[in-house]
Structure 1
Amino acid sequence: MARQLSFDLPAKTALGREDFFVSPANALAVAMISASSWPGKKMVLSGPAGSGKTHLAHVWAGETGGRIVQAAALGHEDVPDLARGPVAVEDVPDIAGDMEQQKTLFHLHNLVLAEGKALLMTGRLTPNLWHLPLADLQSRIEGAHHVALEPPDDALLCAVLAKLFVDRQLNPRPEVIPYLVKHMDRRFATAAEVVRRLDRVALAEKREITRALAIRVLNDDADAARAGN
């Protein structure tokens, strides 16, 4: 039996449109990302960690020539340059504790729209739960068109797991993904962690990623969860 080769290399995430699997859980978000215009030229994309917000932001940026910036990395001096084209600002709730960065984002919001460009903002929760202390910014965000990435259905979870394995250059046995979909906690973040742990154990033990290994990793997770309660 051929052995799987595994290398301790960082995962390289594929972020093209062809790498994004469309299912009922994300179809609306995909359609809105590809829309020619949004109401008021701004949109908020929300969803849990690993649900595809960053991926869709890159798809949108690739199609529009837009630029992507982390909210926490946004500087006041960046605003005039960024406002010349479409902009995606990721993880906006991360700046809830920084009033100066909120003011910078507020300035960017106003200037981008004044220039007639589009603004995409992302966060894990729905905009009304971002609780940004700068009331003018919070109200404008809540006034943006909003679309949410829903929890994964079976088809989407299968695709997410397959992509996570491919990103790590791993080739699990065919029965591994169906087993994981049936038995794992159905969250995107869990999928990423399970694949990471399978990669680590397979590399350490120089073995294939099999159903037996998947059972062991999930059982270890269950034991750890029980021990923590």
Structure 2
Amino acid sequence: MSENGRQLPLDLPHRPALGRADFLVAPANEVAVAWLDRWPEWPGSVLVLTGPAGSGKTHLAAVWQRMSGAVALDGAALAEGTAPAELLGDATAAVLDDADALFTAGDHGERLERQLLHLVNHMREAGGHLLITAREHPSRWPVALPDLASRLAAAAVADLGPPDDQLIAAVLVKLFADRQLKVPPEVVRFLLPRMERSFAAARRIVAALDHASLAAKREITVPLARDVLAREGDATGHVEPGEPTSG
């Protein structure tokens, strides 16, 4: 399909690779990865992964969900008041992503806290496991229920730091490879100082480059990357001396 000689890319979803081998280990995340690799030999029933936005918490949670067969829960499911045994069915593992957002929204209420407490207690009694992700350490959550605060204080916590340049570069290379795109190293070097340091930004930029390359029937080069970054709003506006400005 083409228009004015250009191929129109189909807006099809790209399925990310979420197996354990697909997660790149670096100093920023190696402690958290080691905890997941220890499952199910955790010392307790609850593990909390903490870290800034874009540090890979959700990706790691998805990896563990596939490993463990865990049920994905959210605040809405907990707020409904359904008993943990009904929420989980036959599963003995669950994931609660971005949990501290539930407690900083200002309207979570005692009911949600009690449901989370029931879930934690159920996992402990059933010998199951609950993986929670959050930006802040549980001690900083505005939890009003003393019993829940006590349970969270006893939970294991693994911190993820923000990804560094080496990790982001490796993620970019892997994301391009996942899409079967051959990209010269200079494109990755160009992107690194001009993009947000997060996995989400890397996925967004690679997807945009894939789309632009297909639409324009062009190879992925530094000039194309510059054009895409400008459209994405991630460019710093700085052009290195000697860099080509078109082509």
> Which residue number in structure 1 is paired with residue 102 of structure 2?
95
Q: What residue in structure 1 maps to residue 165 of structure 2?
A: 154
**What aligned pairs does 1:26-65 form with structure 2 within 5 A after superposition?**
26-35=29-38, 36-65=40-69
8 Å CA contact retained: 2:195, 2:235: no
Equivalent in 131, 154, 172 of residue 142 of structure 2: 131
Aligned with residue 25 of structure 2, among 22, 33, 38: 22
Does the aligned pair in 2 maintain the 1:180–1:214 contact within 8 Å? yes
Assess if the C-alpha contact under 8 Å between 2:47 and 2:155 holds in 1: yes
Q: Helix, strand or coil: the match of 1:112?
A: helix
In 2, are the aligned partners of 1:71 and 1:90 still within 8 Å (CA)?
A: no
Q: Once the two structures are superposed, what CA deviation does each residue of 1:66-125 show, in whole Å capped at 9, x if it has no partner?
A: 333234433432511428512222221232232233321111111111122222111123
Query: CA 1:121/1:219 → structure 2, altered by over 3 Å: closer, same or farther?
Result: same
TM-score, normalization: structure 2? 0.75
SS at match of 2:47: strand
Change (3 A) 1:222 1:92: closer
Report the counterpart of residue 76 of structure 1 in structure 2: 81
Q: What residue ranges of structure 2 are gaps of 5+ in the alignment?
A: 1-5, 238-247
| Alpha-carbon RMSD | 3.0
Q: Is the 8 A contact 1:170 1:199 kept in 2?
A: no
Question: 2:235 and 2:210 mapped to 1: Cα distance?
Answer: 20
TM-score by length of 1: 0.80
Is the helix fraction higher in 1 or 2? 1
* Deviation digits for residues 153-199 of structure 1 (CA, Å, limit 9, x no counterpart): 233112322344455x3615213223212432323333233334434
1:31 shift after superposition: 0.5
Is the contact between residue 28 and residue 147 of structure 1 (CA under 8 Å) also seen in structure 2? yes
Q: Secondary structure at the match of 2:128?
A: coil
What do the CA deviations read for 1:123-147 (whole angstroms, capped 9, x no partner)? 1233233324445324422331110
Counterpart of 2:241 in structure 1 is none
- Distance (Å, rounded) in 1 between the aligned partners of 2:215 and 2:149: 47
Q: 1:210 to 1:37 in 2, by over 3 A?
A: same
The answer as to whether partners of 1:173 and 1:210 remain within 8 angstroms in 2 is yes
Secondary structure class of the residue paired with 1:45 = strand
Structure 1 residues 39-48 or 64-73, which shifts more?
Answer: 64-73
Q: CA deviation at 1:41?
A: 2.3
Structure label with greater radius of gyration: 2
Equivalent position amino acid for 1:13 in 2: P
Contiguous gaps of at least 5 residues in structure 1: none
Tell me the secondary structure at the aligned position of residue 68 of structure 1: strand
Provide the rounded CA distance (Å) in 2 between the counterparts of 1:183 and 1:157: 12
Over the matched positions of the two proteins, sequence identity in percent amounts to 43
**Cα pair 2:194 2:236 within 8 Å, conserved:** no
